[in-house]
Amino acid sequence: MATAYVEYGQLNAAPVAGYQTGSVARPLFGTCIATEALTIAGTASTGTVTGAATKTVARITADTACFFAIGTTPNPAATAANGAVTGSKRYLPAGQAVEVILASGAKVAVIAIS
């Protein structure tokens, strides 16, 4: 079963192309506060962990390529009327990680590529 893994934490510093500027580059993602695993299937799977003062960034990885979305009601399957991808849907390649800013109340959702 394909799975997306989400780690929630706080920012170490303001995001600059994924890393903090300065002489010692540190990852954007700080201490891990919570984790969850989401099943990647033909229908959207939405996490239960929400963004908060202690959870301001999410690191998402998946064992298969998928689409993901972030928001209070995220829809990783959303497309515009003309079939174009909307801003709410992003591609995540298998085995790669992406770090995204998480607003208060926001969740992560994933869906299989069809």
Burial state string for 1-24 with b = 16 or more CB within 10 A and e = fewer than 16: eeebebbbbbeeeeeeeeebeeee
Per-residue pLDDT tens digits for 15-70: 555 444 454 444 567 788 999 999 999 999 999 999 998 898 899 999 999 999 99
Structure confidence at residue 31 (pLDDT):
83
Structure confidence at residue 61 (pLDDT):
96
The two three-digit tokens of residue 77, written as one number: 């399957």
The two three-digit tokens of residue 6, written as one number: 């989400």
Structure confidence at residue 84 (pLDDT):
62
Structure confidence at residue 30 (pLDDT):
76
